[in-house]
Structure 1
Amino acid sequence: MKFQIKHECRGRIRVQAMQQRMTLEQADMLEAWLLTLPQVERASVHERTRCAVIEYQGDRQDLLRALAGFSYQNHALAELVPLHSSRALNRAYEEKLVGMVAFKAVRSLFFPAPLRTAYAVVKAVPYLFRALRCLLRRQLHVELLDGISICLSMARRDFDTASSVMFLLRLGELLEEWTHKKSVENLARSMSLNIDRVWMKTEKGEELLPLHQVQAGDQVVVRMGGMIPLDGTIVEGEVMVNQASLTGESIPVPKRPGSSVYAGTVVEEGECVLTVTQQSGEGRYDKIVAMIEESEQLKSAAENHAAHLADQLVPYTLAGSALVYLLTRNVTRALSVLMVDFSCALKLSMPLAVLSAMSEASRFHVTVKGGKYLEAVAQADTIVFDKTGTLTHASPVVAQVIPFGGNKEPEMLRLAACLEEHFPHSMANAVVQAARERGLAHEEMHSQVEYLVAHGIASTVDGRRVIIGSAHFVFEDEGCTVPPGEQDAFDALPKQYSHLYLAVGGVLAAVICISDPLRVEAVDAVAALHDLGVGKIVMLTGDSERTAAAIAAQVGVDEYRAEVLPEDKARFVQAERAQGRTVVMIGDGINDSPALSAANVGIAISDGAAIAREIADITIAANDLFELVQLRRLSVALMNRIQSNYRFVIGFNGGLIALGALGILAPATSATLHNLSTLGISLRSMTNLLPPAKA
């Protein structure tokens, strides 16, 4: 395809597609394709101008050659396009906004006075009905003030002021609706499933296939700790399913053959085979949108306070207007007070600020499930980290495989990978990756796999029990032994690594040494969190005291606990909260789930266990702990903005009321300034909280 270079500077280029018209689908396709190019850091496509703005690194000629090879006819590109794009939504609201402003200008400039009056009367009817409904229900809400203001303006035959008030109210409502829907869409997309492959049951056995290849009627296997990838009906097995993400139920529910299960819920116990009833996409997304829109309990205390305060101030505005009339006997002054209220700005700006902050968080690859969690992060004084896969690198590696009992190293790694591939965790992924790198195929050769949280995995191969996991699980719980004559080799295991123990038939068969390097940004991220006012940072790990002490010293945490079980992590979090602390817990594994639930805010790593992501209140991407720092900055900035909004609304509108009562401002001027201030603070609430330099 041909592109024309319109402008460029170092690392940035703007090109225009040589086509007469670009559809929304084509713009989405081009943008998604650009973001897959290795040299492209950021890209945005503007369908109206057919232009793409590209920020890149590396060789300019490589980028131009790639652009020259782009084609909409490439069917593989269709899989890159998001199922739900905000481009159509933005286009629709942009057209509504432009149309509304243009029509207002045309009315003011070209409509004769009688026609403008008739238009104002027709448009006032809904506002008057809403005000009347409030009166009949004995509710003193902001709709009553709007109706009285418009009614009094029209009674004074000031139809232009009434029309302007209604225009500003509609404009504010449109902007609020636009921001709300866009925020919900962005949040829903980021919360949608991130599952690439599933185990499908076929005549040949279980096959690992891309999710998009699964059709309605296919059978999919889901094991304990796994996320159900598609809506379906269970045909084999009994499971306990955590449906909190969709239904809000805190307790897992039993599912048996014939029961329906839904995409995005998590199997906490057991395993099952389900028949797919709905393909990937619509069902899960729509459920998430409904959950976000209906989930009032996720509103922050600041939002609820603003909404309640807005309604509580309405009687005072009415009383102030009446008092001014009684003191001055001047209808104009009383109307000037009535034209101003605190409610509109409070009700509009606070939810917009929170929704915009949640949307902005997605720019940092952070998914926030509700405004109250941002508020809690801003107030947090204690942050608790899991170690493995959180403070340490997201992808531990197998450093060494030490066989015992005459076993061969490749065979032991093959056997370990066969068991570990069913339970995605950072250490399990390391074992599977090591087998893949060495070309060791590990076909299914075991019976049902049993996962024991924080301990290990057990199965049966060739009639013998095979287990892999921690020393506590293998030697204490299972009573396995070291082969005779090999105790010295066992005692000499390298201490700088974490160890996975593999036993077959009750005898140690191999020890897999896992190198779990500290994230390069961990030290700086912990220091930055301290600088942002977090007084206590704690590391919890199931590793040995030796390993935990070394990592804690490196990373700079205030405290650490070693050899802890899942229930120990949860008890620690509960004890901190009992002391009045606001606790944030960050983890990535199934064993972190109890602590994530116990904390004020649970934060999961995006490539961690599915159940951890579902239970967590916030999810961050796996590649950079500085997203936590950005989240803290964003949360603090949000609370500062909310407080700033309060001060502005009270100060500015209080000033307008005083000037109106003194007769300095006419009612039309008071109404215009009040509504312009409401619009202004709402637009400000929709702007980014953090500067681009920190993005």
Structure 2
Amino acid sequence: MKFQIKNESKRRIRMHMSVYRMSYVQADTLQYFLTELSCVNQVKVNDQTCDVTVYYSGEKADRQDMLKKLQTFHYEDVEVPEHFIQNSGRALNAEYQDKLVWNVAFHYARKWFLPAPLNACYNTVAAIPYVVKGLKCLCNRKIEVPVLDGTAIGVSVIRGDYATAGSVMFLLGIGEILEEWTHKKSVGDLARSMSLHVEKVWMKQDETEVLTDSSKIQKGDRIVVHMGNVIPFDGTVTEGEGMVNQASLTGESVAVRKSSGAGVFAGTVLEEGELTIQVTAIGGGSRYEQVVKMIEESEKLKSGLESKAEHLADRLVPWTLGGTALTYLLTRNVTRTLSVLMVDFSCALKMAMPISVLYAIHEAGTHHITVKGGKFLEAVAEADTIVFDKTGTLTKAKPTVVKVVSFDGRSEDELLRIAACLEEHFPHSMAKAVVHAAQERGLEHEEMHSRVEYVVAHGISSSVEDKKVIIGSYHFVFEDEKTVIPEDKREILENLPQEYSHLYMAIEGKLSAVICIEDPLRPEAADVIRELKKAGISKVVMMTGDNEHTAKAIAEKVGIDEFYAEVLPGDKAKFVEKEKAAGRKVIMTGDGINDSPALSASDAGIAISDGAELAREIADITISADDLYQILILKQISDRLMRRIRKNYHSIVGINSTLIALGVFGIIQPTTSALMHNTSTLLISLGSMRKLL
């Protein structure tokens, strides 16, 4: 494809594509193609101007490679997932832009060119639905916004003031379009960020499990889902039994038992057991629609302040009607009375508050932070305690194997190969370190073990060549499983370097290997904790299953107030519950299956994006694994959102009270009152769309 580079700055390039026009599908295809390039961070494609803006990693070679690939780009050569085009949001934006333009053009064309009698007839007919809606509200014994709208428009028509009635209906229509557009766009953006991104799955071929790209899975294929992993496709269980957490779709946190013949859904997580599933639906469309439905229906979307604003809005309607009646009784002036009626506190409160929350969630998404509702942003803003897991959270997400100490005469490579074969089924950072070390040494392994059993926070149990193999923590291997240490190797075990984390592996009840893993501290950890304390977090706690010596060293380096070593998942959750009972607001941050109970118990649970799927699904917020500074960004967004909501509330009350006063004293006419009220509502709502940072 031919293109021209219009302008360029550091890590950003804007190009004009040399085409006459670009359809929505073509724009989405080009966006997908560029997004899939490894060097590209963000892409914006404007289908109307045919301009493309690309943000990329700063290497010169990456830029050249991207431009070279773009030159050879053809729409028909790119296979775009169906759900990507269906849910891109491009058609939605065009639909509402057209609605907006058509409404404005029709209103002014009718006003300027339609004869006055016909205009009066049109406004009278158009007023009927508003009046009927208001009457229905009264019949249901509710005095809410439709009553105000119906009364204002109806009284204007009865008085013969068709221009005022027409203007009010026009402004209400524009407001509804903007509100609906903003809400759908924000929900769509949020749903896309929450949709599944599962790259690899275990596909069952005969009796062997093969790690396969999820894009290659077809309907009818059988996949195996291990404990702690997300279910990537809708399907039917053909083998196995397990407990499935469906909170991401139903909001219900209690896991549901699934066995042969039961249906399972994409995005749910297997908490216990192992399932073989026959795929019945591929692609992310169904998952996307389910997430949209969940977002739109769930009370999770609403922060406490937002809900209070909505309830207050409904409670203010009777007062507005009462003020209208009082104004008429005191002044006997219909014009002044209508001026009060045209002003509606609830309209602005109900429009501006949700938009503020949705845009805060959207802005968090631009920083690679996924937030599942405004409630959790409010919890982060109010939090005074934060609890950190150690491994993969305060320490780097990619620990590395330093050495393998053999205790049974087998070679290091052979022991590492066995360990990797077991560990590759589980998404913990320690497990990934073992698998990565085996890959680096070129140690290939077939599925040489039987069914793998994962014991939460302890380790893994399986059998290789009919011999029982376990791998995990000291507590699991020696205390629970009563593993025997060879007499001549006790000194080696006692003198293992304490600066490393240790994974113990036993075969047939005898210690075979200790894998020493370096788990370096994140360089930004100390700064982040220091800044969190400045931002109002008064208590910082670290809880880890690691030993006391390692935990103490980490705590001293990063400035932790309290630390707890060798804790179990239940201990973390109990600590969170105890803090909440003491009246504190608690944030929990973790990445593993063992962190899930505490993530669920906290006021706001934050999961690391490359941690266990179960942790990510249960958590209220997910941050990328790049650095912990995103927690500070999240805190800043949350604090500023709460300030914006309070500011919006004061602005709405102040502006509308002033308009009512001006109307009562006859300074402004009803049309002016309606125009200024609707204009201020739109301006406050548009102001709520501004970036918080």
Task: Please confirm whether the aligned pair reaches a TM-score higher than 0.5, indicating the same fold.
Answer: yes
Per the alignment, residue 662 of structure 2 pairs with: 659
Query: Which residue, out of 480, 497, 501, partners 1:477?
Result: 480
Is 351-360 or 50-59 further displaced after alignment?
A: 50-59
Query: Which residue, out of 603, 609, 620, partners 1:606?
Result: 609
State how far apart, in whole Å, the 1-side matches of 2:37 and 2:248 are.
34
Per the alignment, residue 187 of structure 1 pairs with: 190
Q: Quick check: 1:311 aligned with 2:314? A: yes
**How much does 1:74 deviate?**
2.7
Q: Quick check: 1:71 aligned with 2:74? A: yes
Per the alignment, residue 58 of structure 1 pairs with: 59
Distance 1:266 1:183, change over 3 A: same
Contact kept, 8 Å, 1:324 with 1:333, in 2: the verdict is yes
Per the alignment, residue 203 of structure 1 pairs with: 206
Contact kept, 8 Å, 1:376 with 1:582, in 2: the verdict is yes
**How much does 1:124 deviate?**
1.3
- Letter of the structure 2 residue corresponding to residue 417 of structure 1: A
Per the alignment, residue 553 of structure 2 pairs with: 550
**How much does 1:566 deviate?**
0.6
Per the alignment, residue 21 of structure 1 pairs with: 21
Q: Quick check: 1:427 aligned with 2:430? A: yes
Is 289-298 or 360-369 further displaced after alignment?
A: 289-298
Q: Quick check: 1:463 aligned with 2:455? A: no
SS at match of 2:639: helix
SS at match of 2:597: helix
State how far apart, in whole Å, the 2-side matches of 1:178 and 1:25 are.
21
**How much does 1:297 deviate?**
4.8
In the TM superposition, what are the counterparts of 1:336-415 in structure 2 within 5 Å?
336-415=339-418
**How much does 1:424 deviate?**
0.9
**How much does 1:561 deviate?**
1.3
Distance 1:112 1:58, change over 3 A: farther
**Residue deviations 1:142-172 (CA, integer Å, cap 9, x gap):** 1100110111112222211111111111111
In the TM superposition, what are the counterparts of 1:639-650 in structure 2 within 5 Å?
639-650=642-653
Q: Quick check: 1:593 aligned with 2:596? A: yes
Contact kept, 8 Å, 2:15 with 2:52, in 1: the verdict is yes
State how far apart, in whole Å, the 1-side matches of 2:376 and 2:357 are.
10
State how far apart, in whole Å, the 1-side matches of 2:249 and 2:34 are.
34
SS at match of 1:318: helix
SS at match of 1:241: strand
Distance 1:540 1:674, change over 3 A: same
Unaligned runs of 5+ in 2: none
**How much does 1:42 deviate?**
3.5
SS at match of 1:445: coil
Contact kept, 8 Å, 1:32 with 1:80, in 2: the verdict is no
State how far apart, in whole Å, the 2-side matches of 1:481 and 1:498 are.
20
Is 421-430 or 133-142 further displaced after alignment?
A: 133-142
State how far apart, in whole Å, the 2-side matches of 1:540 and 1:286 are.
37
Per the alignment, residue 181 of structure 2 pairs with: 178
**How much does 1:83 deviate?**
5.8
- Letter of the structure 2 residue corresponding to residue 596 of structure 1: L
State how far apart, in whole Å, the 2-side matches of 1:144 and 1:385 are.
51
Query: Which residue, out of 587, 596, 621, partners 1:584?
Result: 587
Fraction of identical pairs, as percent: 58
Contact kept, 8 Å, 1:454 with 1:566, in 2: the verdict is yes
Distance 1:114 1:251, change over 3 A: same
**Residue deviations 1:38-67 (CA, integer Å, cap 9, x gap):** 554443111111111234423265554343
Per the alignment, residue 443 of structure 1 pairs with: 446
**How much does 1:408 deviate?**
0.7
**How much does 1:661 deviate?**
1.1
Per the alignment, residue 166 of structure 2 pairs with: 163
**How much does 1:6 deviate?**
2.7
Distance 1:669 1:83, change over 3 A: closer
**Residue deviations 1:300-335 (CA, integer Å, cap 9, x gap):** 211221111111111111111111121222222112
**How much does 1:621 deviate?**
1.5
Contact kept, 8 Å, 1:29 with 1:80, in 2: the verdict is no
SS at match of 1:646: helix
SS at match of 2:487: coil
Contact kept, 8 Å, 1:179 with 1:356, in 2: the verdict is no
Per the alignment, residue 102 of structure 1 pairs with: 105
Is 495-504 or 176-185 further displaced after alignment?
A: 176-185
State how far apart, in whole Å, the 2-side matches of 1:75 and 1:348 are.
41
**How much does 1:524 deviate?**
2.1
- Letter of the structure 1 residue corresponding to residue 423 of structure 2: E
**How much does 1:261 deviate?**
1.0
State how far apart, in whole Å, the 1-side matches of 2:252 and 2:174 are.
39
**Residue deviations 1:416-435 (CA, integer Å, cap 9, x gap):** 00000111110000100110
**How much does 1:186 deviate?**
1.4
**Residue deviations 1:69-95 (CA, integer Å, cap 9, x gap):** 333233356699566212221121122
Per the alignment, residue 134 of structure 1 pairs with: 137
State how far apart, in whole Å, the 2-side matches of 1:243 and 1:336 are.
51
Contact kept, 8 Å, 1:211 with 1:280, in 2: the verdict is no
State how far apart, in whole Å, the 1-side matches of 2:137 and 2:80 are.
53
Per the alignment, residue 531 of structure 2 pairs with: 528
SS at match of 1:29: helix
Contact kept, 8 Å, 1:165 with 1:672, in 2: the verdict is yes
**How much does 1:111 deviate?**
2.6
Distance 1:36 1:234, change over 3 A: closer
State how far apart, in whole Å, the 1-side matches of 2:364 and 2:85 are.
19
State how far apart, in whole Å, the 2-side matches of 1:15 and 1:633 are.
34
**How much does 1:620 deviate?**
1.5
Per the alignment, residue 693 of structure 1 pairs with: none
Is 515-524 or 489-498 further displaced after alignment?
A: 515-524
TM-score normalised to structure 2 length = 0.96
State how far apart, in whole Å, the 2-side matches of 1:9 and 1:226 are.
41
Contact kept, 8 Å, 2:81 with 2:283, in 1: the verdict is no
Distance 1:295 1:50, change over 3 A: same
- Letter of the structure 2 residue corresponding to residue 58 of structure 1: E
SS at match of 2:349: helix
SS at match of 1:651: helix
Contact kept, 8 Å, 1:592 with 1:612, in 2: the verdict is yes
SS at match of 2:691: coil
Contact kept, 8 Å, 1:223 with 1:267, in 2: the verdict is yes
Contact kept, 8 Å, 2:29 with 2:78, in 1: the verdict is no
Q: What is the aligned-residue RMSD (CA, Å)?
A: 1.7
Contact kept, 8 Å, 1:231 with 1:262, in 2: the verdict is yes
Per the alignment, residue 616 of structure 1 pairs with: 619
Distance 1:58 1:294, change over 3 A: same
**How much does 1:37 deviate?**
4.0
**How much does 1:210 deviate?**
0.9
Is 228-237 or 105-114 further displaced after alignment?
A: 105-114
Contact kept, 8 Å, 1:587 with 1:604, in 2: the verdict is yes
Contact kept, 8 Å, 1:459 with 1:467, in 2: the verdict is yes
**How much does 1:107 deviate?**
2.5
State how far apart, in whole Å, the 1-side matches of 2:527 and 2:278 are.
48
**How much does 1:384 deviate?**
0.8
Query: Which residue, out of 637, 642, 645, partners 2:640?
Result: 637
State how far apart, in whole Å, the 2-side matches of 1:149 and 1:530 are.
52
Query: Which residue, out of 571, 577, 587, partners 2:574?
Result: 571
Is 193-202 or 551-560 further displaced after alignment?
A: 551-560
State how far apart, in whole Å, the 2-side matches of 1:549 and 1:582 are.
25
Q: Quick check: 1:222 aligned with 2:228? A: no
SS at match of 1:444: coil
Distance 1:689 1:573, change over 3 A: same
State how far apart, in whole Å, the 2-side matches of 1:10 and 1:475 are.
55
SS at match of 1:195: coil
Contact kept, 8 Å, 1:401 with 1:511, in 2: the verdict is yes
**How much does 1:528 deviate?**
2.1
TM-score normalised to structure 1 length = 0.96
State how far apart, in whole Å, the 2-side matches of 1:668 and 1:195 are.
55
**How much does 1:531 deviate?**
2.1
- Letter of the structure 1 residue corresponding to residue 350 of structure 2: K
Q: Quick check: 1:6 aligned with 2:41? A: no
State how far apart, in whole Å, the 2-side matches of 1:551 and 1:25 are.
51
SS at match of 2:364: helix
- Letter of the structure 1 residue corresponding to residue 17 of structure 2: A
**How much does 1:209 deviate?**
0.8
